[in-house]
Homo-oligomer: A and B are copies of this chain.
Amino acid sequence: MVKEDVGITVAKEDDFSEWYTQVVLKAKLADYAPVKGLIVLRPDGYSIWESLRSTFDKKFAKNGIRNGFLPILIPESLLGKEQKHFAGFNPEVFWVTHSGTNEIGDRLALRPTSETLAYTLYSKWIQSWRDLPLKINFWNTALRAEIKATKPFLRTSEFLWQEGHTVHSTEEEAESEVMKILEIYKNTVEEELAIPVTTGKKSEKEKFVGAVYTTTMESIMPDGKALQMGTSHFLGQNFSKPFEVKFADKDNVEHFAWQTSWGVSWRLIGAMIMVHGDNKGLVLPPKVAPIQVVIVPIYKNDEGKNIVSSKVEDIKNELELKEIRVHVDDREGLSPGYKFNDWELKGVPLRIEIGPKDIEKQSMIIAKRYNLEKSSLSFTEIEKIPTILNEIQIDMLKNAKKQSEINTINISNYDEFKSKIEKGGFFNAPWCGELQCEEKIKEETGADIRVIPFDCEDRNQKCIYCQSQSKIIPIFARGY
């Protein structure tokens, strides 16, 4: 029998960072690559990404967005065309200087993001109003050299993401697109990953430097830190002017177009691990789980095996007909206990146990991963399993919302703010709107304005820092 130390050896509440890394590695979602800062996705990790991609693709398609492909290499000269935007990425860019033994004249950047490349092409592709809106999404990776320690899914020098780039004939249409995407992001993360998010705008200081404004969705992690889950930018004409993305309108007058860009990355998987995982390992929301139901047949001899196996096969087939992703763990030479631990570590949402005694009673044991509850289910109730999975999905979101609410605090006293920030959380604190206060707060507490929720205007409070009249109540937090 295989005996290896497969379990998680630290508690989530004791050493969150080490717990996280162990879950990622031991649940076989990802591993470190030989180059510092890079990771590899194993099939169970990539499968979650594929599931998200498929959901986003359906929603994007309904919204008239199609996918395309952009190469990874961008000439230095092009990257620098929108100066502010470039300055932001400069220290993080990987540079290709040689092909074979030949030196390359205009160095090539590995794409940190593709605005400059996409808009060079859009400028060629768009001539008239007939070509608008142009809405293309790209599933690829972006590269930004990380100097800090690698954290799988959260801090890596190459990351999987999607970047959408749309062009519109009017400002209104572009702004409406920004919001539609943010809404798609929000409902996908909440419905698929069971993670609640708060949407709103970034402050001027925190926005994407190339954008007129950035909308964002933020979530609070169990360690009290905020995680940016995705951003949708209104670019205005900031890029269309330098890149000459122009169109002739119906009246044949030429105009600069209005643009948006937006992205989510595999960071979402990191958030899912942090929010739902426990001391036994990963806990997967059923919708994105590569295996939704694992069946562990239990028997002591060949006779028992024969009786159990045929019933297990029936149940498997019945669940597959209902489009449930089901796996039978019929590995020889491993105890049921070992198998239970293994599938709990891997976060499979529902486990079914069936032994000869269960067959006598015409029922099986079902064990829910997220709350570790076991109960009995009659063979005649198998059809309930899709509903049970849905209930798990909904309950996981509900629990995460509760946790998020507990960690969200209304606060107006700066001393209290400073002391409470140590434990983490989202802080709704009144702000005068001045950069200076924002910077001072960051300097003194490490907390950023993570998100300015829509409709958070409030002029009846005092700025938590300078005590002058407040304008809005943004969410402050320390972030990843």
Q: Which A positions have Cβ atoms within 8 angstroms of B?
A: 2, 31, 33-35, 38-43, 45-47, 49-50, 66-75, 78, 90-101, 108, 110, 117, 120-121, 124-125, 128, 130, 136, 141, 143, 145, 157-158, 160, 331
Q: Name the contact of A34 in the complex, choosing from B45, B78, B95 (C-beta under 8 A).
A: B78
What is the bound-complex CA distance between A90 and B71, given in angstroms?
21
Q: Name the contact of A2 in the complex, choosing from B45, B67, B78, B128 (C-beta under 8 A).
A: B128
Q: Do most interface residues of chain A lie in helix, strand or loop, or is the interface mixed?
A: mixed
Once A50-B67, A72-B72 are accepted as A-B contacts, the answer to whether A91 and B96 lie under 8 Å apart by CB is: no
Can you list 16 pairs linking A and B with CB atoms under 8 Å apart?
A: A2-B130, A33-B70, A33-B121, A35-B73, A40-B71, A42-B125, A43-B66, A47-B66, A72-B72, A73-B157, A92-B99, A93-B99, A95-B97, A97-B97, A99-B145, A110-B110
What is the bound-complex CA distance between A35 and B73, given in angstroms?
7
- Which chain B residues lie closer than 8 Å to A39 at the CB level? 71
What is the bound-complex CA distance between A145 and B108, given in angstroms?
13
Is B136 in contact with A43, judged by CB distance below 8 angstroms? yes
Is A91 in contact with B95, judged by CB distance below 8 angstroms? no
Is A68 in contact with B94, judged by CB distance below 8 angstroms? no
Number of copies: 2
Chain B residue at minimal CB-CB distance from A50: B67
Minimal beta-carbon separation of A138 from chain B (angstroms): 9
Instruction: Beyond the given A41-B69, A45-B69, A92-B100, please list 4 additional residue pairs across the A-B interface where CB-CB is below 8 A.
Output: A34-B74, A94-B108, A95-B97, A96-B97
Is A121 in contact with B158, judged by CB distance below 8 angstroms? no
Once A99-B145, A121-B31 are accepted as A-B contacts, the answer to whether A68 and B93 lie under 8 Å apart by CB is: no
Is B90 in contact with A95, judged by CB distance below 8 angstroms? no
Closest 9 CB pairs of A and B: A43-B66, A99-B145, A41-B69, A38-B71, A91-B100, A95-B98, A97-B97, A71-B158, A46-B68
Is A110 in contact with B95, judged by CB distance below 8 angstroms? no
